[in-house]
Structure 1
Amino acid sequence: MSLLPLFLSRLIAFIFVAIGAIPTWANAQNSITNLVTTEQVRAELMAYAPDGADPGKTVWVGLQLTHQPHWHTYWKNSGDSGQPTQLTWKLPPGVIAGDLAWPTPRKLPTGSLVTYGFGDTVLLPVPLTITPEFKPSLLTPELEVKLQASWLVCKEECVPQDGEFVLRLPVKSSTALQGNVFQAAFAAQPQALKGSSSITLEGSQLKVSVNGLPTALHGKTLEFFPETPEVIEPGAPWSQAWNGATWTASVPMAIHRSASPTELPMVITSEVDGQLSGFATTAQISGSWPATPAPGEPAPASDGPSTFTVSSAAASGALPTSFWLALAGALLGGMILNLMPCVFPVLAIKVVSFTRHADDRRGHRVSGLAYSAGVVLSFLALGALMLALRSAGQQLGWGFQLQSPVVVAALAVLFTVIGLNLAGLFEIGQFVPSGLATLEAKNPSVNAFLSGILAVVIASPCTAPFMGASLGLALSLPALQALAIFATLGVGMALPYLAASWSPALARLLPRPGAWMDSFRRAMAFPMFATVVWLVWVLGQQTGIDGASALLALLVGVAMVIWAFTLRGKSRLPIAAICIAAFASMTWATGKNIVTFSEPAGGVASSARWQAWAPGKVDELVAAGSPVFVDFTAAWCVTCQYNKRTALADSGVLADFDAKKTILLRADWTRRDPAITAALAQLGRNGVPVYVFYQAGKAPVVLSEILSVSEVRAAIAGL
């Protein structure tokens, strides 16, 4: 067992690389076409190139979304809730994508909320400019257009969806089969107004004035759509009037405004006999925006100009108090992380290691330092990777690596091998050269260092008490301060081991080496196998029964190959070759099932009383007057599963929920979900578990990571 970290160091490195891999093997296995169909939407990538795709030409491409009845997607400003459709293009060198030419939106009222978007069928066109740098292949003169699209489709519930599309357009000949569709989309775009527009800020109102609208619209009721989100209250009452040829409106500004622009692009629309017309203009804003309150606070009573005061700490360059509190929380949370169920398998390895060094005080200290270095550096590496991926546009949070089936499967293989080694099936010395076999004896600190890396890999999905707020703050800080918080987490996790290795009093408490160690080592195989059971269950939540079954078969194959190499005599190599060939064939045949996400089972909740969380659903329920409790959870979060089966299953807690008519929502983060990541970020968190009460007129109430029945009942009583 002692050489196991050396043998598995390459696998651990692979795990860290696989964490950030955006395209997975599953994506590579799926055929990419120009059509994606779901239960709610038919999405098709179309092209319009009547003059071909030679340099100097403009090619139009667009994603057409055909919605099922009563379903809709969103405009560039989604209104009170929702998310705009996102289009990310991958184009050959010399081809440049322009801005999305948004069609004219409609208002989509949902209770007291108002959103902006599209139903029925809509085309989202984008122009591609073909520059002289575009050099098509001489053998296949085509323009290959790839699109990664994501959209949020909603009715009463919302479903985040995405798709990958590809089109190959001939360069020399025309592509105009969908020409009528594009011409209709061009006609549906807002027309630019030639008249002037202005907005004056008066108190909490935007006084809008628009000139140049067509004479046929004079005197008619119009709709108003600002392109900048979170500037007005879309669902609030507003007034409009005509002053000759000038259209005016008084629109309430958003209480929690996200921007204070000096100009506001907007679209004015009119619908006559079912025919929607839109007119685009940009209004210059005069006046001073009022100060915006913090979330959960009432709007300021003063209508005076906004002010900005630099705190003495910021002015002097000193770090804010919140940063030092976050460091303290990270240190304490890192220490508590050692008590979380995730870390128990690694604790078993450390107990064996510490006992082995019980009579070697210097070796004990070196092992403690090396283990601590592995833990701290791994936290820094994982934090830096998460910050880098988030800055690249990925919506990720703490524990994000276990949202990848590749990482879950790799960890299952790793812990199976560790378990078989602890159980005595094989020794590393059987598989490595004798020179390498003596390396560990000369460098025992390498084992300890790699054990620290392994501890972080398996412990990172857990969020211990005090960690949540610290990690949430880290993502809003500059990179160096954020990394300081991640490093402090590592120091906290390593501190108990470092203290035990350097304190003579604690060292004397350790049992002495003896024959019992062999029995203890073999017994420690069972926590490893239990961890494998948990990982297989997590994978089953992600990829379904086929994925879990394929992983179990893969683990049997791993055990078979290891067994083959433990044989002796002439039959060893032939049997090993047969086992390796069988293992490779099985992996090729079923491996795609391990890394391919299964279709979600239509808003699954764990019981009849729980509903599936969706973007905008909390706002709708709170606006209707219902208190809401949200459980942000994941299958790979052991703490989440513990709370689900204890405090959240308590009969008294459930009775209190019923008495207060509380709506229970469960946000499942087992798979990567940017909408849930964004919702966590709004709460100042970036990991699970998170438990939140929402109520109209009050700020969200976030409970602790490890729930108690008394805490939940007290929070319910306060509703």
Structure 2
Amino acid sequence: MAHAPDGAEPGKQVWVGLQLAHQPGWHTYWKNSGDSGLPTQLAWTLPAGVTAGEIAWPLPKKIPIGNLANYGYEGTVLLPVPLTIAPDFKPSLLSNDLEVRLKADWLVCRKECVPEEGSFVLKIPVHSTTAINGAAFDAAFKAQPRPVLAATGGVIPDSKVQIEGNAIRLTVQGLPVALRGKTLELFPETPEVIETAAPWTQAWNGEVWTATVPLSPQRTGSPSVMPVVLADGAQGYRAELKVLGQWPKAEAAGTVSPALEAALRDNAGTPPPAASIGLLAALFGALLGGLILNLMPCVFPVLAIKVVGFTRHAADRRGHRISGLAYTAGVVLSFVALGALVLALRAAGQQLGWGFQLQSPAVVATLAALFTVIGLNLAGLFEFGAFLPSRLATLEARHPVGNSFLSGVLAVAIASPCTAPFMGASVGLAIALPAAQALLIFAAVGVGMALPYLAASLVPAVARLLPRPGAWMVVFRKLMAFPMFATVAWLVWVLGQQSGIDGAGALLALLVALAMVLWAFTLHGRARTVVATLSLACLALLAWTAGPSITRAQAPTPLAAGTDGWQPWEPGRVDQLLATGQPVFVDFTAAWCVTCQYNKKTTLSNRDVLADLSNKKVALLRADWTRRDPAITAALGQLGRNGVPVYVMYRQGRAPVVLSEVLGVDEVRSVIGAL
């Protein structure tokens, strides 16, 4: 929101702010969040000559959470920020507005917490007024604490904090006469100093207000001045208190007192999942999961390319060994690079999980175009040598190592969204491990995936199992084009889940135009020049007009409650259902996850499974991770997972039961029968 009642020219009063409207029971945090939580962060991008001040925090409320307490906001709150317009500020020549960009991050909590973010743009007219949000800003200004000043207008010199062992004694003078004798609320602005939820005492001695507050055993701050806010109802008063005395030695960072540990244990809702697997078990599971990835339909088309190349040069043993090692290097390094990227982005605050790249419509469309080109090449429509200069056309023959390495990279690009059996727990554990150990697990997945081809290239006995070269290779090569086109069909369907029917249609039109361009370059003479020019123009026009439909994210369509018994998952929904005594089964899925779709069409559609779920009155929730969803990412992390599929059975008072990635009917019925 913006509030510029006199315009946005130099010297005028200009305010901007983020307004948060909380759902019932949810809250965000003040500048000092209390025992847990994080304050809302605002990062501004402003034109030259404009600077943003600090948040003018409204008065918070104390939010008890079991044996802990936080400071924050419920309902609707506006966080106003003043803008200072310098005399040399000049609006853009193309616009008479002041453009304000905001990147905001906030943590919203109930029993569980969900990190959220938003990017916003406001254009404030420079020479005209902006006062439509005046009422909201006026309410926020009234909710701000007033400064406690002496009669002379200065800070009260006798207001202080006296350190007394493991407690502090606050003395505040200059408070309004109307407050005398009343019980006040205390909000210290300095975090991690007092025991937020502990009992404390206060008293009035004439016009002087005093209080004794216990220090936190995990105190990390030792300020020389403590700003505090005292509140009576909706009105607060801010005082800066000088600290007298010597702070006691703070406990080492990271230690947890028995009291806090007990409070955290008491506040825990659903018991946590079973203890995580060890590193050696995770490495073995990653290796085995990578091996099984070769059986996934999203990987098979790429392996088909390698099989054709392998049989083509059956007598070249040295070339086979080099090709196998290069392919393995491409697979392993790509898995490590993807793992490092996930770890780095999560460390920077991004809520990402395994397979995140297929949550981007642009990446999905690019892969669809790549597999279309490969499929048309295998089908014999064109040869790459016809498009390239002779030096580049012979690059594959002169540098087969690079070709094998890139084949490994391509295999990982399309395989990583799959989560094979034994792999889910390993990847979930890797996200929480130190970087070196985490990357070792990702490398193990790559070794497992590359192992079959590596064995065929290094062990003659394995290579002899392959058929001898012959005319069958031409037929086999063309046959392998169809798995490529099947992969394209799957990718178009995935894009349709993200960008809607218009996005899927636009991608299909572009792929047809791309195929026409490839065909045009196979012509000769003048026909090639004319047809290729027209087809390129058609492709460019389609990209310009239909391209935005591909990358435009469609608003998610809520899953209709009662459709086959499934309801949409949302934060807090599991707790709501468990509170009624009803067991809950959650399907964490995504359109780009082939294993998810297989399980959905088989086990989760099985009549016996559905009958058992109905008889036990199990609530069915489906968490769709096709698009990036930080709430679902956080929920997966709590289960020790970082990718889909994940299937979880919840029951009140018991630990969640996480099922296998590839579901079996007997496994699901066994879990249901134990309810």
Q: TM-score, normalized by length of structure 1?
A: 0.75
Give the C-alpha shift of residue 480 in structure 1.
3.1
1:562 aligned to 2:529? no
Give the C-alpha shift of residue 716 in structure 1.
2.9
Give the C-alpha shift of residue 101 in structure 1.
3.0
CA displacement, residues 482-515 of structure 1 (integer Å, 9 cap, x when unaligned): 3232222212211221111101110110111111
Instruction: Quote the residue 1:446 is aligned against.
Output: 402
Name the CA shift for 1:331/1:82 in 2 (closer, same or farther; >3 Å). Answer: same
Structure 2 residue identity aligned to 1:499: A
Instruction: Quote the residue 1:147 is aligned against.
Output: 102
Distance in 2 between the 1:201 and 1:556 partners?
A: 78
Conserved 8 A contact 1:218-1:242: no
1:23-34 to 2 correspondence within 5 Å? none
1:638 aligned to 2:594? yes
Give the C-alpha shift of residue 192 in structure 1.
6.1
Instruction: Quote the residue 1:711 is aligned against.
Output: 667
Instruction: Quote the residue 1:90 is aligned against.
Output: 45
CA displacement, residues 266-320 of structure 1 (integer Å, 9 cap, x when unaligned): 877665xxxx3346789999999633659996689xxxxxxxxxxxxxxxxxxx9
Instruction: Quote the residue 2:367 is aligned against.
Output: 411
Of the three residues 290, 293, 301, the one matched with 2:257 is 290
Give the C-alpha shift of residue 91 in structure 1.
2.6
Of the three residues 543, 546, 570, the one matched with 2:499 is 543
Distance in 2 between the 1:510 and 1:608 partners?
A: 47
Give the C-alpha shift of residue 175 in structure 1.
6.5
1:513-528 to 2 correspondence within 5 Å? 513-528=469-484
Conserved 8 A contact 1:412-1:535: yes
Distance in 1 between the 2:75 and 2:444 partners?
A: 50
Distance in 2 between the 1:153 and 1:603 partners?
A: 24
Distance in 1 between the 2:608 and 2:577 partners?
A: 24
Of the three residues 699, 702, 707, the one matched with 2:658 is 702
Distance in 1 between the 2:577 and 2:516 partners?
A: 54
Conserved 8 A contact 1:219-1:242: no
Conserved 8 A contact 1:343-1:458: yes
CA displacement, residues 124-175 of structure 1 (integer Å, 9 cap, x when unaligned): 21234567997876897865321234679999x99978453132463x9986
Q: Which moved more, 1:471-480 or 1:635-644?
A: 471-480
1:402 aligned to 2:355? no
Question: SS state of the match for residue 475, structure 1?
Answer: helix
Of the three residues 393, 399, 414, the one matched with 1:437 is 393
Instruction: Quote the residue 2:120 is aligned against.
Output: 164
Distance in 1 between the 2:560 and 2:497 partners?
A: 11
1:385 aligned to 2:352? no
Conserved 8 A contact 2:161-2:170: yes
Name the CA shift for 1:551/1:282 in 2 (closer, same or farther; >3 Å). Answer: farther
1:461 aligned to 2:417? yes
Give the C-alpha shift of residue 588 in structure 1.
1.1
Distance in 2 between the 1:682 and 1:621 partners?
A: 18
Give the C-alpha shift of residue 424 in structure 1.
1.3
Name the CA shift for 1:497/1:58 in 2 (closer, same or farther; >3 Å). Answer: farther
Instruction: Quote the residue 1:426 is aligned against.
Output: 382
Distance in 2 between the 1:154 and 1:294 partners?
A: 21
Of the three residues 137, 153, 164, the one matched with 1:182 is 137
Distance in 2 between the 1:260 and 1:546 partners?
A: 56
CA displacement, residues 225-280 of structure 1 (integer Å, 9 cap, x when unaligned): 8989999999x9x99998668899999x9xxx9x8766999877665xxxx33467
Distance in 2 between the 1:387 and 1:117 partners?
A: 32
1:333 aligned to 2:300? no
Distance in 2 between the 1:152 and 1:664 partners?
A: 27
Question: SS state of the match for residue 124, structure 1?
Answer: strand
1:597-636 to 2 correspondence within 5 Å? 597-603=553-559, 607-636=563-592
Question: SS state of the match for residue 406, structure 1?
Answer: helix
Name the CA shift for 1:558/1:52 in 2 (closer, same or farther; >3 Å). Answer: closer
Give the C-alpha shift of residue 379 in structure 1.
1.4
Give the C-alpha shift of residue 580 in structure 1.
1.2
Instruction: Quote the residue 2:612 is aligned against.
Output: 656
Identity of aligned residues (%): 61
Instruction: Quote the residue 1:12 is aligned against.
Output: none
Distance in 2 between the 1:130 and 1:233 partners?
A: 41
Conserved 8 A contact 2:7-2:125: no
Q: Which moved more, 1:563-572 or 1:91-100?
A: 91-100
Distance in 1 between the 2:664 and 2:195 partners?
A: 38
Give the C-alpha shift of residue 60 in structure 1.
2.7
Name the CA shift for 1:154/1:290 in 2 (closer, same or farther; >3 Å). Answer: closer
Conserved 8 A contact 1:296-1:698: no
Conserved 8 A contact 1:197-1:282: no
Structure 1 residue runs of 5 or longer lacking an equivalent are: 1-44, 301-319
Higher Rg: 2
Instruction: Quote the residue 1:475 is aligned against.
Output: 431
Of the three residues 36, 41, 62, the one matched with 2:17 is 62
Q: Which moved more, 1:450-459 or 1:595-604?
A: 595-604
Distance in 2 between the 1:279 and 1:652 partners?
A: 65
Instruction: Quote the residue 1:277 is aligned against.
Output: 235
Instruction: Quote the residue 1:680 is aligned against.
Output: 636
Instruction: Quote the residue 1:25 is aligned against.
Output: none
- Count matched residues: 638
Distance in 1 between the 2:638 and 2:574 partners?
A: 13
Give the C-alpha shift of residue 703 in structure 1.
2.1
Distance in 2 between the 1:693 and 1:364 partners?
A: 47
Give the C-alpha shift of residue 679 in structure 1.
1.9
Q: CA RMSD in A?
A: 4.7
CA displacement, residues 426-479 of structure 1 (integer Å, 9 cap, x when unaligned): 111221122322222222222211110100000010112232232223223333
1:484-499 to 2 correspondence within 5 Å? 484-499=440-455
Question: SS state of the match for residue 340, structure 1?
Answer: coil
Name the CA shift for 1:51/1:442 in 2 (closer, same or farther; >3 Å). Answer: closer
